[in-house]
Amino acid sequence: MADEFTAKLDAYLDGELPATEMKAIDAHVRGCSSCAADVLGRVQIKRALQSAGKRYQPSSEFRQRVRAQIARRPNPWASRAWMAASAVLAILLIAGWLNTYIARERMNQEDAFSEVADLHIAALASANPVDVASSDRHTVKPWFQGRIPFTFNLPELQNTEFTLVGGRIAYLEQTPGAELIFQVRKHYISVFIFQEHAAPALSSGSGVRKHVSFNYETWTEDGLRYLAISDTTGEDISKLTELLKAAAKS
């Protein structure tokens, strides 16, 4: 379990694993002191735990009174009991902190995906859903130059079932990015592109997932965070995602 736990630890801390795996790893953390210590190091709460330990450290006077009441020869079982109690307390502290941390990260992710879904809905409901309307990628891509702090590549869609409708500037937490709108049959797919460091809450594992009534897929490429969202099928989103990934690497 240790190797499997270590491999999935980062995704676990970000709340990106399926609910069943989250529960399994959470249960493992609660019962395994070595894995709990690993978690402790990764989330960098050693200082907080040290501070809490000092807060409850017995005074020298208290220590002297205890020593006066026990035999002069040290009792190894008492030492082991204190060690076991300390280990249990550490695990409980870590588990409690993790529950709070993961709940906060999930809330941040939920808010971010809700904001992106709202942007998608607002674009489609607008009388002018795009700022640059063109099916030509060589027209849409240059339009963004100077308007956003990065560049990106668009795929060649000839002989595919997708059509580029155009693009517009989108803002996520006041950070500018690109929103590209594609059409497949009667459905529209919004593809958002932001700098990865500006959209950390949009990380959500791999593959197509669901948020409310929308399917979406998110991934990173060359320091950029991509997110495709639509009410179309997950298969459509996966196909467009593969085209975008190939274009980004070209």
CATH number of the domain that residue 132 is part of: 3.30.200.100
Range of the domain at 229: 108-249
Whole-number mean pLDDT of the chain? 77
Whether the pLDDT of residue 184 is over 60: the answer is yes
User: For residue 166, what are the CA distances in angstroms to 38, 139, 179, 180, 218?
Assistant: 47, 9, 9, 6, 20
Residues 186 and 211 in one domain: yes
Residues 88 and 139 in one domain: no
Rounded to an integer, the average pLDDT of 109-126 is 80
Contacts 24+ apart (CB under 8 A), 174-180: 175/199, 176/147, 176/148, 176/149, 177/148, 178/144, 178/148, 178/152, 179/119, 179/120, 179/123, 180/140, 180/154
Q: Hey, what's the torsion of the CAs at 126, 131, 137, 138, to 10 degrees?
A: 170
Boundary residue ending a domain (79, 107, 135): 107
Whether the pLDDT of residue 55 is over 60: the answer is no
pLDDT of residue 49: 44
> 131-170 pLDDT, tens per residue?
999 999 999 999 999 999 999 999 999 999 999 999 999 9
Q: How many CA atoms lie within 13 A of 23 on its CB side?
A: 3
Boundary residue ending a domain (107, 142, 166): 107
Quickly state the pLDDT bin for 47 (edges 50, 70, 90): very low
> 10-38 pLDDT, tens per residue?
666 666 667 677 777 777 766 666 666 66
**Taking the CA atoms of the chain, what radius of gyration do you get in angstroms?**
26
Q: Do residues 179 and 167 touch, judged by C-beta distance below 8 A?
A: yes
Quickly state the pLDDT bin for 207 (edges 50, 70, 90): confident
Whether the pLDDT of residue 226 is over 90: the answer is yes
